[in-house]
Structure 1
């Protein structure tokens, strides 16, 4: 029985099963989102982009195909190892803890698809924002694409079974101690696996409080990948543009 409770994101994201479970994410929509972001930010074709929590680098690779030099970082060694085969002179990957600032300055920093709020320690949310602030060139902007917790709470599916590549993932969701939690249990080759995801329930007000503490300015706030102005009742996403 494999059970991860300490820094669950480090072990769960490092498994092949994480990528199997989430293989059907809508990357067409994700590419549309990144195109809209690039237009909104008015990025120069040589703008160096930092992709924080890049996973296996799918979005870093796409951004690089558009012509941008990209650095992708992630805590998962296995994910970065998988991404490295796509590395070029203008596309670099490295294992890195995003709570620490990289020495390089970037023209844009992207933290996409709810890759924030996983931390065991509350101060690491602030540390990540401090790091992003240090990683931005003067006048450059950063993007955090988070969930709209109000929408997610209202539409939470308590239980479901999702079958992917012959694996039955038994998924349970609940809210506890200010976190949205998801328990995932499955069996492969007679071995049982058990992982619990947890993401802090951060509202726009919570982010604004973080930003005030770190000295970050919120520039804009959108509610979907078409970059419509955020509506707390209607939208599924909370997309923050700041510097």
Structure 2
């Protein structure tokens, strides 16, 4: 059994070497200049507990309807590897990518084998190497500007094969703007196995940013405070970004049950095809 595990790890390492490469010099320079203030990295194991509460099984069932068996999939901004691991168990050849060394370490400890540390704006992969790329559960929009988000979409297209699918799953801006914009910030308390989290959520007056402030009290008595924000996009804005990168929208959903997207849908899930 030990020999079989060792052989599999060597195989996984070879697969990583086959698809990765150092990005071009201008991408390398860009990655060095633009540092991401990664709140999720600072939260490390706490974020792992939060992530486990998310709808991983439901999301995986949905992803299986969008992916083809045995195709090479990139899980962009994979975090603790929830979807990377779930899709691997379903037989997909999936690679997890994240900028956070700590979150990738957690993903590895939970069973993910094909993991790469990298920047969405400078993906360390050969061109046209993946047949599908997924960005699930609000992993998109945390870069410093919309121009930076657009760069990540261009990079997604570069490493995706012609005819490949890009699945982008984000908050529905219209629903959140209606719920929060111009109103007093909303506070909620969440209980996790080792801590409590008080979340204060607001949307900027122009509706472009979702802002979260988290006050965490661990049951050991330790307290931590984190703040982060993410860009909010309308479907039209995402469609324009995708079009600039030579994608064409194939389908749009409002949840993981494949319901049609509407103004009050919880999710905005856009599936596009690389031209």
TM-score by length of 1: 0.85
Of the structure 1 ranges 133-142 and 21-30, higher mean CA displacement relative to structure 2 is found in 21-30
> Which residues of 2 match residues 151-230 of structure 1 at below 5 A?
151-156=175-180, 158-176=186-204, 178-188=208-218, 189-230=220-261
The equivalent of 1:69 in structure 2 is 93
Q: Which has the higher contact order (CA 8 A, sep 6+)?
A: 1
Consecutive unaligned residues of structure 2, counting only runs of 5 or more, are 1-34
Deviation at 1:152, TM superposition (A): 2.4
Helix, strand or coil for the counterpart of 1:217? strand
1:100 alignment partner, one of 110, 122, 130: 122
Asked if 2 retains the 8 angstrom alpha-carbon contact of 1:223 and 1:229, the reply is yes
Structure 1 or 2, whichever has the larger Rg, is: 2
Larger strand proportion of the pair? 1
Deviation at 1:183, TM superposition (A): 0.2
Deviation at 1:180, TM superposition (A): 0.8
Helix, strand or coil for the counterpart of 1:138? strand
Helix, strand or coil for the counterpart of 1:64? helix
> Which residues of 2 match residues 76-95 of structure 1 at below 5 A?
76-85=100-109, 86-87=111-112, 91-95=113-117
The equivalent of 1:147 in structure 2 is 171
The equivalent of 1:3 in structure 2 is none
The equivalent of 2:76 in structure 1 is 52
**How many residues get paired?**
228
Distance 2:134 2:49 in 1: 24
Consecutive unaligned residues of structure 1, counting only runs of 5 or more, are 1-5
RMSD: 2.0
Q: Deviations over 1:116-166 (max 9, x none)?
A: 011113221011100110111121111101111112233447111222225
